[in-house]
Structure 1
Amino acid sequence: MLAGLILIVGALLAVWLARDWLGRAGPGALKRLGVGLGLAALVVAGIWLVATGKLAGLLAIGAGLAPWIGRVMKLHAFWRWLSTVRRPAEPPPAPSPPATAMSADEARAVLGVGPDADADAIRAAHRRLMLANHPDHGGSTWIAARLNQARDVLLG
């Protein structure tokens, strides 16, 4: 009677701890747990079959699982190969900004402003072009550098 009560309390404690752990564990940990429990069940079944003298049953289980184990191994190798094939290509390096100084006329042409543009018009043109060509939004770092250089030349 006492042994049964201890066994029930132990089982409830194990279920409570497992539920708590499963709430914090990620999918990878759950997969490893499932594989580990499956292998442990196979080992326990094998030991039981050997201990009871039913080695033929163990051999039958092994023969029945052999094709499935082969399929899992092939599938695992395929997914590893596929992850190496579909690796995204490295983007080409962006051209560096020009090292030469930009003239005021060239800066006006880059920003699209006239020679009579004031500081507010230059800032507005720079902002409008940077919103359209910023590297964080898919634009080019080279174009953004040219726009910044043109703004700096015109605003001093």
Structure 2
Amino acid sequence: MGLIALGLIGLAGWLIWTGRLQRMSTKDGMALGAALVGAVLAAKGKPMLGAPILLGAALFFASRGKAKTGKRRSSRRIADPIPLTDGDIEQARALLGLSSDADSGAVRAAHRRLIASVHPDKGGTEALAAQINAARDLLLDDLAGKDQKRGR
């Protein structure tokens, strides 16, 4: 039981180190905490108290795993197009640090430079990365619309 407790503590440390706990729900965190308490109780020589707690947490995670492996639905929802305003485009340019005469190559280069430093895999947040991606898409769509109006 001591090895199980050490394994669970190591798992919790790994989850914290990699940042995966940020994506855990409250229920997941509570179940992980209960599993740690159960494992510690079982390791301390109180298996009658620790084993049911540990078993309950294991069943919780097992049921969550089966629910997730069923039908996989896309978490991305395709939204209706929103009419663009000049303010939105200016905010997107400011976020990417571009001037008003930037072309599509400059937009892509600015996006690549900025996303490399704030990507969630590099320690940034998913929200900021999503804003940067949305700004790039908005500016590229705007430039494509202007090119179509010019007849290119």
TM over 0.5: no
TM-score (norm 2): 0.42
Q: TM-score, length-normalised on structure 1?
A: 0.41
Q: Which has the higher contact order (CA 8 A, sep 6+)?
A: 1
